[in-house]
Amino acid sequence: MERLTPPPVRRIAVDRHPRVVAPTSPADGAGNGAGGVTSGAGGSQILARRRAARPAATYPPEERMQIESVSLAYGERWVVRDVSLPVRRGEVLALIGASGSGKTTLLRSLNRLTEITAGAGRAGQITLDGEEIHEIEVNALRRRVTMVFQQPNPFPMSIFENVAYALREAPGRRRRARRATLEPAVREALRRAGLHEEVADDLDRPALSLSGGQQQRLCIARALAADPEVLLLDEPCSALDPISTAVIEDLIVELRESVAIVIVTHNLQQAQRVADHVAFMHLGELIEYGTAEQVFDQPRQQRTRDYIGGAFG
C-alpha cells in the first residue's frame, strides 16, 4: 500500500515552533524503496504535526468559483485541456504538477490575466458566484480575484502607497482619497497579511527596502486590501527562505477562512502543509482532484503516485 512518502530530499522542511530548521533525513526520501523503513519518521512527522496544528476552518466551505471543462490555449498550442474544479472559500486549493503542466496558466485565467498575452484563448466556463467571468468587466473581476506572484513585486513606492494603491483609483471615485481616510484600511490589510507589527512605525519606508519575505507579505497585503473574494497565489514562496515560507504558509492557512485561496506550488510538502484540496495536473490535464489527505495518502492514479513518489517532475 502506498503511504505518504515525501519526495527525495532537496528541500528543507521547517518547523517554526521550536524555531529549528531541520532538514529531513535522507532515510526518509529513500523510505519509498527501502522496504522496512516506511514513512512516519522525521520529515513526515513534522508534516503531520504541522497539519494537525492548523486551525480548523470554522465555516463550512462555500463555493465561489467554478471551473467547468476549461481548456486554454496560447495561439495554436493547448496548454490546459478540459479541467473542471471548484474553488471554495474556507479552504485552500493547491494546484500541483511538473513544470509546463498548465497550473500557472489555469491560475492566471481565473482573473483573466492570461489576456495580457497575445493569442490567449479559452474554451469552457469559469464562473464567479454563478456569473461567467467573461461577462464581468475585467478590472472589476481583478479587484474581486486578486493575485500574488512568484517574485515579490512591490511597486517602487512607500509601504503605505503600495497598499493604498489597491484602494485608490477605483472607478467612479472622483477625488483621490486622503491619507487619513485610507490609513485604517491600509493598516488592517497589513495586519491581515501579518506584516503590520514589523512596519507599523514606519509606513513611509520604501517598500523595496523590506526583506524578500516581507515584500511578499506586502504583496499579499496589497492583494487583500481591496477585500477580494478569491486570492490566487502563484508559487508565492519559491523565492523565499524557509522561515519566511513558514510565516506565509501560516498566513495562507489563516486567510482561507475569509477568502477562497488557490495556490500553485512546486513544493509538495508545502501543498501538504497548506492545502485542503489538491489538484494534480500533468501536461495540461487534470489527473486527480481530491482532499489533500486522499491525494497524498491514497492517490488513485498511477501518475499521481509517480509524481508524489518523486518518479518525475
Partner 1 sequence: MATAEPTLTPPRAAIARPRRESTASWPLVDRLAYWLCWAVGIGLCVIAVGIVLFMFIKGISALRPSLFVESPATGALQERHSGGFKDPLIGTFILTAIGIAIALPLGVGIAVWMVEYARPRWLMRTVESAIEMIAGVPSIVLALFGLLLFARPLFSFLSGSANNGAVTGQSFLIAGIMMGVLAIPLVVGATREALLQLPARLREASYALGKTRATTVRRVLLPSIRPGIASGAVLGMGRIIGDTAILVILLPYLKLEGAGGAPLLSALRGTGTTLTYYIYYYAPTGDGNSPKKAFAAGFVLLMIVLALNALVTRLTLRSSGERAAARNIVQRVWAWEMWPWSR
Give every CB contact of residue 48 below 8 A, 6+ residues apart in sequence. Answer: none
Q: Which of 1, 20, 52, 116 binds partner 1 (CB under 8 A)?
A: 116
DSSP 125: E
At which residue does the C-alpha cell 512518502 appear?
Answer: 5
Q: Does residue 192 bind partner 1 (CB under 8 A)?
A: no
Q: Which of 25, 69, 139, 302 binds partner 1 (CB under 8 A)?
A: 139
Q: Which of 22, 41, 48, 226 binds partner 1 (CB under 8 A)?
A: 226
Q: Does residue 303 bind partner 1 (CB under 8 A)?
A: no
Size of the site for partner 1 (CB under 8 A): 27
Q: How far is the CB of 144 from partner 1 (least distance, A)?
A: 8
Q: Which of 153, 211, 291, 301 binds partner 1 (CB under 8 A)?
A: 153
Q: Does residue 223 bind partner 1 (CB under 8 A)?
A: yes
**Between 167 and 251, whose beta carbon lies closer to partner 1?**
167
| Cα separation of the two ends of the chain | 22
Look at residues 113, 49, 60 and name the one whose alpha carbon lies nearest to residue 90: 60
Q: Does residue 113 bind partner 1 (CB under 8 A)?
A: yes
Q: Which of 11, 64, 81, 143 binds partner 1 (CB under 8 A)?
A: 143
For β-strands 260-264 and 230-234, DSSP reports them as: parallel
Look at residues 309, 299, 305, 272 and name the one whose alpha carbon lies nearest to residue 13: 272
Q: Does residue 111 bind partner 1 (CB under 8 A)?
A: yes
The DSSP annotation for 167-228 comes to HSS-TT--SPPPHHHHHHHHHHHHHHTT-HHHHTT-TTSBGGGS-HHHHHHHHHHHHHHT--
Sites of contact with partner 1 (CB under 8 A): 111, 113, 116, 139-144, 146-147, 149, 151, 153-157, 165-166, 168-169, 171, 219, 222-223, 226
